[in-house]
Amino acid sequence: MPDDYPHPIIAREGWTFLAIAIVVAALLTGWGHWLGALVAWLAVAFIAQFFRDPARRVPQQGNAVLSPADGRVVKVERTRDPYLDRDALKISVFMNVFNVHSNRSPVDGAVVNRWYHAGSFVNAALDKASLENERNALQLRTQSGQDVTCVQIAGLIARRILCYVEPGAALRRGQRYGFIRFGSRLDVYVDPTATPRVAVGDKVAATETILADLP
């Protein structure tokens, strides 16, 4: 069944942008500036699709790690988790401007730590973005004691990372916890013995796609 959904189909982060665009488009239409009005209504359509935030069905498989974002898988590798200083399986999802940009919890778990790092804004599809770009990381701990690190990473155009939870919060799988504007990346680090369920190039949907199975 769809998860509890506390927000309308347009994410609240987009309400101001959408309202301004609609007012401008309506004024230009009323004044008879047809070319300008056409451009403005196209902007309304783009903003509406960018900030759309549909409800998602949540898989109930207990050991599943769900995708925290819509997009395309750009990395599946065993490497070091720089936040917990451990060996880990890393899966990275790149979001372009046409993807849904709400970020959702990959597991049921408690927020143990949160780290914010200011940084640069290189193309989020590049490997170096994981360590060089502005980013916000959460350490989530499941009831079984598994640690999952979920990292929001700004991109070339994305200049605003929003995260609404702090240490001590409890998240349900698929629960909305943040947003990144205009193209970005999510890195997920899990136990190195986890089994990946996706490959580089796969398209994934937030919450509905299982990235990996925990041991």
Q: Catalytic one among 92, 102, 105, 184?
A: 184
Q: Is 130 a catalytic residue?
A: no
**Residue of 62, 59, 61, 51 whose CA lies nearest to 12:** 51
- List 180's β-bridge partners, or say none: 161
Distance CA(196)–CA(78), nearest Å, equals: 10
Region class of 177: left (phi > 0), else alpha (psi between -120 and 50), else beta: alpha
Q: How many helices (H) and strands (E) would you count in the chain? A: 3, 14
Q: Which residues are catalytic?
A: 184
